[in-house]
Amino acid sequence: MSTDLVALVRRRPDLYALADGLVAMGEPLELRGGDPEPTLVYDAEGRLLVSIEDAVQVTAQSEIRRLLGPEFAGRVTAPVWWVDIRAVADLPDAERVARRYADSLVHWAGGTVYPDGISEGPARSWKASDQGGGPSGAASGQDGAAYHGGVIGG
């Protein structure tokens, strides 16, 4: 069974930059796909480890509560960028890489990881205050359309 994580982050994430950071830290990874397909992360032997969906902005707190439950929804405040991260089953490194990716994403963009995230922390990036995680970015549309209904996270 795969391991599914959801990163709820304050600003629109740059998925490739973060993956490049993992590679720079010594992870022997290869990226394929992306935009509009999921970004696929492979190990050095060409085995699929992780699938990362494009970020979707969620502006309604009620959507977080509906999808993740009231207890978890109390840990994060909309608007956020929702990123699904799935580790394939039966490869020990897959879950580790997915967890490291999700934790790094939250570290740099602020937010929390579902299902076991702690209270959201502040973004560590100097860009976080001027990117579409807040109301001004959502209103201006600078970081893409806001989520308005339907199923998110595919």
- Residue-wise pLDDT for 37-73, tens only, equals 899 999 999 999 999 999 999 999 999 999 999 988 8
- Residue-wise pLDDT for 73-121, tens only, equals 888 899 999 999 999 998 989 999 999 999 888 888 888 999 876 544 4
Token pair of 6 as six digits: 């959801």
For residues 3-13, average pLDDT:
91
pTM, entire model? 0.73
Sequence-separated (6 or more) residues with CB below 8 Å from residue 140 = 132
In the chain, count of helices (H) and strands (E)?
5, 8
Buried/exposed 59-89: b ≥16 CB within 10 Å, e otherwise: eeeebbeebbeeebbebbebbbbbbbbbbbe
H, E, C per residue of 98-133: HHHHHHHHHHHHCEEEECCCCCCECCCCCCHHHCCC
- Give the whole-angstrom CA distance, residue 8 versus residue 50: 17
User: From the CA atom positions of the chain, what is the Rg in Å?
Assistant: 15
